[in-house]
Every structure is written in C-alpha cells, then in structure tokens.
C-alpha cells in the first residue's frame, strides 16, 4: 500500500490521505530519498526494488534529490463519511515535469509546409451480396 502511495506522491508532487498514512509515508519516502542521495548504481537498483520496478518513479526521485529533498505534512479538515483526520503530504521544492501533448502525425507533417490539414474520414465498407444463380434461359428442362 505504501509503495503505491509513494509512486503517486512522486508522480504528482502531493496527495491527500489520512493523517496516519501520511506520517508513515513520510518516514518511508525519507528513507527512499536518502537512498537516492547516494547516487550509485546499487542504490538506484534498491530504489527500483522498493518502488515496484518503476523506473520513471525512481528517476523522478533522483531528479528531486538534486533540487530539495524534503517532505511536509499539511493537516486538512476531517473526512465527512467517517470523520477520519486527513492530511496532504507534499514534496517541498518539487516541480512537476511538463507532459508533452502530441499532435497527430499528419498535422506535424503539414505544419511546416503551410498546407491545410484534412481530417481522415472513415468510410463504411459494405459487402456486396452475391447475385443469385438463376437457371439459364436457353437450356431445356428434363
């Protein structure tokens, strides 16, 4: 459970969870950050193992260690349904990695040439029914 919380925290920068989970996750993440600070190949492999072989998550932790490396817990109001104490856990100094929006390949090709881009139109393919075989008119019946 803490592995998936850790992955979500690294990928988004902050998550809302119960206060008890946040406290435990803070300890877990600080251990992972201290492993990442070593910067050796075995330490990176240890990160992969601890975070479920998620290479992207481990690379984000290594990138984060260079910028800040601290975790903070911000208390939130209690949850309505069961009145559990809630908290937001954040990585201090963390900046989100920009996700690139990819354009369709036909738009990229026409963009530099100044041509209008036509959208692909799907055409409905209908199968033709075979013609019924009819007896030829010239043959005599037996």
The string of pLDDT tens digits covering residues 3-52 is 889 888 888 888 999 999 999 999 998 888 888 888 888 988 888 888 88
For residue 18, what pLDDT is reported? Answer: 94
The residue ranges of every structural domain in the chain are 2-92
For residue 70, what pLDDT is reported? Answer: 80
Task: Give the range with max mean pLDDT: 19-33, 37-51, 92-106, 120-134.
Answer: 19-33
The rounded mean pLDDT for the chain is 76
Q: In this predicted structure, which of 11-20, 25-34, 54-63, 105-114 has the lowest mean pLDDT?
A: 105-114
Q: In this predicted structure, which of 2-6, 29-33, 78-82, 123-127 has the lowest mean pLDDT?
A: 123-127
Residue pair 2/26 in contact (Cβ under 8 Å)? The answer is no
In terms of residues, how long is the chain?
142
Six token digits for residue 5:
């919380």
Neighbours of 85 (CB within 10 A): 13
93 has pLDDT over 70: yes
Give the phi and the psi of residue 53 in degrees, each rounded to 5. 55, 35
Cβ neighbours of residue 14 closer than 8 Å, sequence gap 6 or more: 88, 89, 90, 91
The CATH class given to the 2-92 domain equals alpha beta
92 has pLDDT over 60: yes
Which pLDDT band holds residue 140 (cuts at 50, 70, 90)? low
Name which residue leads in pLDDT, 18 or 121: 18
């Amino acid at each position: 459970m803490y592995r998936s919380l850790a992955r979500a925290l690294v990928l988004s920068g902050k998550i809302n969870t119960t206060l008890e989970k946040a406290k435990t996750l803070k300890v877990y993440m600080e251990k992972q950050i201290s492993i990442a600070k070593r910067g050796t190949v075995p330490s990176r492999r240890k990160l992969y193992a601890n975070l479920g072989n998620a290479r992207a998550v481990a690379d984000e932790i290594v990138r984060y260690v260079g910028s800040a490396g601290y975790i903070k817990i911000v208390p939130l109001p209690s949850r309505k349904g069961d009145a559990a104490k809630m908290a937001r856990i954040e990585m201090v100094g963390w900046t989100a990695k920009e996700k690139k929006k990819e354009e369709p390949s036909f738009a990229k090709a026409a963009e530099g040439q100044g041509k209008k881009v036509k959208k692909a139109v799907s055409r409905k393919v209908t199968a033709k029914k075979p013609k019924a075989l009819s007896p030829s008119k010239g043959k005599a019946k037996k």
